[in-house]
Structure 1
Amino acid sequence: MPVVLIVEDDPGVREGLELGLTHLGHQVRTAPDGEAGLEAAARHTPHVVVLDVMLPGIDGFEVCRRLRAAGSTPVIMLTARGDDVDVVAGLEAGADDYVTKPVVPRVLDARIKAVLRRAAPQPVARTEAAGLTIDRAALVVTKHGRTVDLTPTELRLLLALSERPGQVLSREQLLGAVWDHDYLGDSRLVDACVQRLRAKIEDVPSAPLLLHTVRGFGYRFGPA
């Protein structure tokens, strides 16, 4: 659930956005001015900051510059005017997007999701581990230089696991990522496919180096 920090001095706007974004599934933190916004950003480490331009004390442009100097948290500027002056100034200060008031929570929600997608790390195009090479662009898997013949389902499972090396993925997560939603709930599909995949990519399937079972949770990709 994304953590959104709203820095807005107008109580009505601030509370309305907090209520609307909370209803849409965000964790919302608020601050009434620039100084409090910087403190809240340091304390809560939000996923995105929604920042009003016109703030008492430190204005939104300066807050944005300080946030950008401290890290890469996406910033969406709120402006009461739609003219190019505020837009250009906000972008030059490091903002990722802007929304003109009055703000509709659903529109802001869409903008938040868009900047979070752009900010998300992209999976590496190539993974190499224990003699296995996964080329995501070409969808080719090799083991010690030889092509491994995988079914489409086996390939999707390997891609899903290897995109997040070291992270445990539950059987339910893998069912949703690899199989059609009609199969949700039958974790035996995952277990059977992992066994077939181990037979093709592990040197010793009974002592896997790449596809590890985490009992009670799911599976993890990567050297032990």
Structure 2
Amino acid sequence: MTDIREPTVISPAREGESVDEERIAVVIEDEEDIRSLLSTVLAQAGFTVHGAADGESGVELVRRHQPIVTTLDVNMPGMDGFEAAKRIRAVSTTYIVMLSARTEEIDALQGLEAGADDYVSKPFRPRELRARIDAMLRRPRQHLAAPSPAAPATMAESVAPPTTWLEHQGLRLNPATRIATVDDLELELTRSEFDILADLLTAGRRVRGKSDLALMLRGETYTGAEFVSDSDARAIEVHVANLRRKLGESPAAPRWIETVRGVGYRLTAP
């Protein structure tokens, strides 16, 4: 049965912070003690937290508050986390962190395919979760409106910070405005898909390994000391597969993204 209790709200006081700077998070978790723990972790990180005990209520909270971050349990009565993630993705660009006691790789991949940005196994360490969220927040969040690529610059645009379009064979991407188009049609990409595509466009014909891309999504650079698991590498494969599907290209005859077997990916030759 749907839980219709009032959502948990934790609003930490942040001296000197304006309303525009307020950070919002939604916690969707049916176990009250875990929901309370997650709310506390996020509140300590400076978020105003709204909590829901089921998927349906959680999706509505996301729709209403448009949070920066949403944590989402997989195993919930009624609407499970996978379905909730798909519905959230239809109405919000929030970062989605899935949490689950399921440790099978296929579950993590299913979560990523549903639109999650990260997948954390239970039991989790609050410090690790906080670090993952901090890494995500270092990546641009908002999907901003932008003029048509062919539109002339206005006076307002002429004094705005310069933006650069990355281009390759009809594919155009603007890192500053978070806009990507293919043959002048805008693409609806998750943050991870957008960031992978931007990284590949920047690298050009240089090969980007799966480990490189995984570290990039975590906000890290390779120094030789980082650990990238097989699951992390597999997650990159899932993100690239989803990206190719949205681009409408075949891995066997790619127009934009070429697989370098056993290594990673690069742009196709002009």
Q: Within 1, Cα distance between the matches of 2:59 and 2:68?
A: 14
Q: What runs of 5+ residues in structure 2 fail to find an aligned partner? A: 1-21, 147-152, 165-175, 177-270
Q: Does 1:115 align with 2:136?
A: yes
Deviations 1:163-194 (A, max 9, x none): 9xxxxxxxxxxxxxxxxxxxxxxxxxxxxxxx
Q: Within 2, Cα distance between the matches of 1:79 and 1:133?
A: 43
Structure number with bigger Rg: 1
Q: State which of 2, 19, 23 in structure 1 corresponds to 2:40.
A: 19
Which has a greater percent of helix?
Answer: 1
Q: Within 1, Cα distance between the matches of 2:25 and 2:140?
A: 14
Q: Within 1, Cα distance between the matches of 2:121 and 2:72?
A: 12
Deviations 1:129-169 (A, max 9, x none): 587797688xxxxxxxxxxxxxxxxxxxxxxxxx9xxxxxx
SS at match of 1:70: coil
Q: State which of 36, 56, 65 in structure 1 corresponds to 2:77.
A: 56
Give the aligned length: 137
Partner residue, 2:68: 47
Cα displacement (A) at 1:27 = 1.4
Q: Does 1:28 align with 2:56?
A: no
Task: Please provide the CA RMSD for this pair.
Answer: 2.9
Q: Within 2, Cα distance between the matches of 1:21 and 1:27?
A: 8
Q: Would the aligned equivalents of 1:8 and 1:33 in 2 still touch at CA under 8 Å?
A: yes
Partner residue, 2:114: 93
Q: Within 2, Cα distance between the matches of 1:87 and 1:74?
A: 16
- Give the alignment of 1:158-177 within 5 angstroms: none
Q: State which of 24, 29, 38 in structure 2 corresponds to 1:8.
A: 29
Q: Would the aligned equivalents of 1:3 and 1:27 in 2 still touch at CA under 8 Å?
A: yes
Q: Within 1, Cα distance between the matches of 2:52 and 2:118?
A: 19
Percentage of matched positions with identical amino acids: 43
Residues 47 and 128 (structure 1), Cα distance of their counterparts in 2 relative to 1, 3 Å cut? same
- Give the alignment of 1:109-188 within 5 angstroms: 109-120=130-141, 129=155
Residues 128 and 66 (structure 1), Cα distance of their counterparts in 2 relative to 1, 3 Å cut? same
Q: Within 1, Cα distance between the matches of 2:161 and 2:42?
A: 39
Q: What runs of 5+ residues in structure 1 fail to find an aligned partner? A: 138-162, 164-224
Q: Within 2, Cα distance between the matches of 1:77 and 1:133?
A: 37
Q: Would the aligned equivalents of 1:31 and 1:37 in 2 still touch at CA under 8 Å?
A: yes
Query: Structure 1 runs of 4+ off > 2 angstroms?
Result: 103-106, 113-124, 127-137
Deviations 1:65-114 (A, max 9, x none): 01112232221100112221210100110111111111222222222222
Q: Would the aligned equivalents of 1:6 and 1:31 in 2 still touch at CA under 8 Å?
A: yes
Residues 82 and 41 (structure 1), Cα distance of their counterparts in 2 relative to 1, 3 Å cut? same
Relative to the length of structure 2, the TM-score reads 0.45
Partner residue, 2:93: 72
SS at match of 2:138: helix
Cα displacement (A) at 1:117 = 2.7
Cα displacement (A) at 1:21 = 2.0
Q: Within 2, Cα distance between the matches of 1:68 and 1:133?
A: 30
Relative to the length of structure 1, the TM-score reads 0.53
Q: Within 2, Cα distance between the matches of 1:73 and 1:6?
A: 12
Q: Within 2, Cα distance between the matches of 1:10 and 1:89?
A: 22
Q: Would the aligned equivalents of 1:128 and 1:134 in 2 still touch at CA under 8 Å?
A: no
Letter in structure 1 aligned against 2:119: Y
Q: Within 1, Cα distance between the matches of 2:137 and 2:116?
A: 13
